[in-house]
Structure 1
Amino acid sequence: MMTRPASMLAIGGLLASAIALPAWGQVADVAAMADVPGGDIAPVHDPVIIREGDTYYVFATGRRRGQDGIIPTLTSPDLRTWTAGPSMLADLPAWAKAAVPLARDMWAPDISLVNGRYRLYYSVSSFGSNRSAIGLATSATLDPASPDYGWRDEGLVVQSTAESDFNAIDPNFIEDRDGNHWLSLGSFWTGLKLFRLDPASGKPTDPAAAPIAIARRPAPAGGPAPVEAPFIIDHGGYYWLIASYDYCCKGVNSTYYTVVGRSQDIAGPYLGQDGSSMLEGGGTILLRADLPERERFRGPGHAGAMQDRDGTHYLVWHAYDKQQNGIPTLRLGRISWGQDGWPTVIQLDADMTTPADSRGDTGESE
């Protein structure tokens, strides 16, 4: 196991698993982040983060209690104090209700600025089924007070059915270094997939083409080995695939944890620090649950990253707060890239200066 400075987060406790676990890397103990962020940070599930102007935005799964609409939003001027904003959409579009009749919410949004317009990909599904779909909505701005604000439904992007070997949820957009556009997605079934997109429409270039497999976990005897929530970052000459292993959505009994692997090709193979392949359930553990003696924040996963104006990468994810009846809660840290090139998640200290005070948007959400 690698040593690291005292400012790095302590290693979380290892939960039992029926399959071989990925290698230990520089692993965040989410308890160290108990004081940051604050404000309206719960319930928040499957968060993704982006910045427009001087405001940071988080989009999340589902509906917020006491608020109309789907896809709740949070805003912050400094990454430390978050305020609930309006939900993004009033309801599921008609095409989504027809494609997935059991769906009631939108899950796992992903936000990017592409060609001067914000693209929000979202999932429509129901638990335990791969009759799922990913849709797209776009807006000229994220600011509800702007006269240019308003989300336009762009329709279906990718769909899976009972006959598919993948599950069309948990989308993440990335543009590679050659200007090609891609969408990663997936949960359970045969793992995480990658689709090439048409830059103009944001939809697959060839809807009939088979997706590229980028991560899977061989199932042990007696049950599945879950993998979901892909997010790809381009940094230091590598593409970095972040994914969640094991089970979310069980409150304090959730066994979710977060792994990372890297590849020089966006299509993989993605390997952990020890060379283990994410196509074989490998990778390097990035986020783990609290140490046993604390046991507050459980099941950290479904991470989303943002590169700020000064080049700093921030990571958001949810974890289940044992002190608050297991409510899913927003967590946030800064990614530090070590001399060996591998990432570590570092807490945001209470006296941290406001980040990235320069002007001008990068428009990047990864």
Structure 2
Amino acid sequence: MRLSLRSATTLLIAAVVTLLPGTARADVTYPDPQPITGQQIIHDPTVLRLKSGGYVAYSTGGVIGARTSRDRVRWDDAGNAFDRPPSWWYEYNDTGDPWAPDLSYRAGRYWLYYAVSSWGTNHSAIGVATSPSGLPGTWTDHGKAFASERTDSWNAIDPALIQADGRLWMSFGSYWTGIRMVELDPRTGKALPDAQVHHLATRPDAPYAVEGPYIVKHGRHYYLFASYDTCCAGVNSTYRIRVGRSTSVTGPYVDSTGKPLLEGGGDLLLAGHGRYVGTGGESIFKDRGRDVLAYHYYDAADGGTPKLGLNTLTWKKNGWPAVL
């Protein structure tokens, strides 16, 4: 193909810039997040398009930090989900600090799940609240949906809900033995009495660094997305998103090579690149019929500040997901 002088000069400049020490080079493997404006700071985002129009995002930080948007591009700070921490939160940490919320709509109400814990312990609980509108300041807390104790081999944080075959399930988990799942009572939104704790994914090596599950159904498969490696270390974070699938919501989940996620398997979906470090804390929501991946990354161009990443999630002919 012949190039004009202008095109050839442009390509030469681009090549020189790519080779200059200290210059950033776009990673052709992983897409950058879609451009957004306004309040971009967020951690462990859960996002939903509201029935009333517009979008809301909840996240770790504050009393479950809230962001709202009319167009999914400009985001505004909307305070917190709750005015003040429910008193039972203090059983799990001294500051009443909640983590990693999950937002969904079911049975005519919005449902918000979240975790309360302390760093490095599995004395943890997942709480549940409901709202008629999904907006901050409208939530009624209903207490614990599920809890773990120091004698348990799992950790009750990072909740995510999915309905499957007329039943309601919650995946959860962080380190310890990885990702777990319990069945919920659809009426109360809380774990069934003596619910079996299913095991979905783990790593073969301590400290079993896999957490933050999210499950969606596509075609005849359920897809388990999870964050692997190190969170919450700014530009030193190594979070990345991996995925496996199963024909049953309770597993077993395997990657595209057939390796079980219970044996450390998982296809790499999105990893840090350029200024976008430690991509993880993911969730998925529907917007006008398309799946959208929400996650946080640490902005290396802004001192490692955690920010909101949004990308369209598409599906290949072989059934596996890809990020656009």
User: TM-score range, shorter-chain basis?
Assistant: 0.7 to 0.9
Cα separation, 1, equivalents of 2:135 and 2:190:
25
Partner of 2:199: 213
Q: Structure 1 residues 205, 41: CA separation in 2 closer, same or farther (over 3 Å shift)?
A: same
Residue 175, structure 1, aligned to residue 174, structure 2: no
Select which of 193, 207, 223 maps to 1:224: 207
Cα separation, 2, equivalents of 1:340 and 1:262:
12
Partner of 2:70: 77
Residue 140, structure 1, aligned to residue 167, structure 2: no
Spell out the pairing of 1:1-366 with structure 2 (5 A cutoff). 29-30=30-31, 32-33=32-33, 36-42=35-41, 44-52=42-50, 53-63=52-62, 70-98=63-91, 100-143=92-135, 150-176=138-164, 178-206=165-193, 208-219=194-205, 223-290=206-273, 295-308=274-287, 310-346=288-324
- Cα deviation, 1:39-93, whole Å, max 9, x if unaligned, reads 2111x10001111132111110012xxxxxx111111222222111121112321
Cα separation, 2, equivalents of 1:260 and 1:91:
36
Paired residues of 1:103 and 1:126 also in contact (CA < 8 A): no
Q: Secondary structure at the match of 2:244?
A: strand
Which runs of 5 or more residues in structure 2 are unaligned?
A: 1-27
Paired residues of 2:240 and 2:272 also in contact (CA < 8 A): yes
Which runs of 5 or more residues in structure 1 are unaligned?
A: 1-26, 64-69, 347-366
What TM-score do you get using the length of structure 1 for normalisation? 0.78
Q: Structure 1 residues 166, 48: CA separation in 2 closer, same or farther (over 3 Å shift)?
A: same
Q: Secondary structure at the match of 2:277?
A: strand
Cα separation, 2, equivalents of 1:265 and 1:214:
11
Aligned AA (2:70): P
Aligned pairs, number: 296
Aligned AA (1:187): S
Q: Structure 1 residues 204, 111: CA separation in 2 closer, same or farther (over 3 Å shift)?
A: same
Q: Secondary structure at the match of 1:150?
A: coil
CA drift of 1:142 comes to: 2.1
Q: Secondary structure at the match of 2:89?
A: helix
CA drift of 1:161 comes to: 1.2
Q: Secondary structure at the match of 1:108?
A: strand
**Identity score, percent:** 42
Greater RCO between the two (CA within 8 Å, min separation 6)? Answer: 1
Q: Select the structure that is richer in strand.
A: 2
Paired residues of 1:61 and 1:72 also in contact (CA < 8 A): yes
Cα separation, 1, equivalents of 2:270 and 2:185:
33
CA drift of 1:184 comes to: 0.5
- Cα deviation, 1:314-348, whole Å, max 9, x if unaligned, reads 011000001111011100000111111111111xx
Paired residues of 2:110 and 2:132 also in contact (CA < 8 A): yes
CA drift of 1:103 comes to: 5.0
Deviates more, 1:336-345 or 1:179-188: 336-345
Aligned AA (1:110): D
